């Protein structure tokens, strides 16, 4: 199942619920995730944390912000910080293309956009296919990984949003009133 240009969780088959770091469990053994690609790797986040998926738009840089903070966007009147996940995870810069998207996530009452190479699909998976994070992770700091899902043809890195949002420290980001 593909995702349209702008998608919200309300359009998904299962809507509502509180966001968790690993994926909301739709039943005792199911998780529903939005998957995306970054640096050739497949990642996933809880669908209930996803507020919107949008094309890459003009981003206003914020002075004195950390390297992984791309800047802010004006999303229908709301100023939303945007994180360059490639930089955060130590991937080389690849520029943007027609498939580059910003996934706007909400966690802990804070909306943040994450630039990804492309959005893949919405998956409903059995939680039993998610293994705990290996001690040694080659591409992403294991601290931000909730688990690895074993799918038929690929592995899927499930991100821990609580730890990712805490590490980014976006509450300390000073956004000028006229930034976007």
Q: Name every residue whose Cβ is closer than 8 Å to that of residue 130 and which is 6 or more positions away in sequence.
A: 22, 23, 31, 146, 147, 148, 149, 150, 158
At residue 140 the predicted structure's pLDDT band, cuts being 50, 70 and 90, is low
92 falls within a domain: yes
User: What does the pLDDT average to over 110-138?
Assistant: 85
Q: How many domains does the chain have?
A: 1
pLDDT at 17: 35
**Separation CA 146–CA 114 (nearest Å):** 18
180 falls within a domain: no
Q: Where are the beta strands (DSSP E) in 5-144?
A: 24-27, 30-38, 41-46, 50-55, 69-75, 78-84, 101-107, 110-116, 118-126, 130-131
Q: What is the CA radius of gyration of the chain?
A: 16
**Separation CA 88–CA 75 (nearest Å):** 22
pLDDT at 180: 45
Phi and psi, residue 148, nearest 5°: -120, 120
The CATH number of the domain holding residue 38 is 2.40.50.180
Phi and psi, residue 145, nearest 5°: -105, 125
Q: For 51-91, what is each residue's pLDDT tens digit?
A: 999 999 999 999 988 889 999 999 999 999 999 999 988 88
79 falls within a domain: yes
Q: In this structure, are residues 115 and 73 in contact, taking their beta carbons and an 8 Å threshold?
A: no
- Domain range for 155: 9-172
């Amino acid at each position: 199942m593909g995702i349209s240009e702008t998608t919200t969780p309300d359009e998904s088959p299962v809507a509502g619920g509180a966001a968790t770091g690993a994926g909301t469990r739709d039943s005792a053994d199911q998780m529903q995730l939005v998957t995306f690609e970054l640096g050739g790797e497949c990642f996933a986040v809880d669908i209930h944390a996803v507020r919107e998926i949008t094309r890459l738009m003009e981003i206003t840089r914020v002075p004195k912000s950390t390297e992984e903070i791309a800047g802010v966007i004006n999303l229908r009147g709301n100023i939303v910080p945007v994180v360059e996940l490639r930089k955060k995870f130590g991937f080389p810069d690849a520029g943007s293309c027609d498939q580059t998207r910003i996934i706007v996530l909400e966690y802990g009452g804070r909306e943040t956009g994450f630039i990804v190479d492309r959005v893949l699909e919405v998956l409903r998976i059995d939680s039993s296919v998610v293994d705990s994070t290996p001690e040694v992770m080659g591409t992403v700091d294991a601290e931000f990984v909730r688990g690895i899902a074993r799918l038929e043809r690929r592995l899927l890195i499930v991100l821990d949003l609580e730890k990712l949002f805490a590490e980014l420290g976006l509450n300390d980001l000073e956004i000028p009133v006229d930034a976007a």
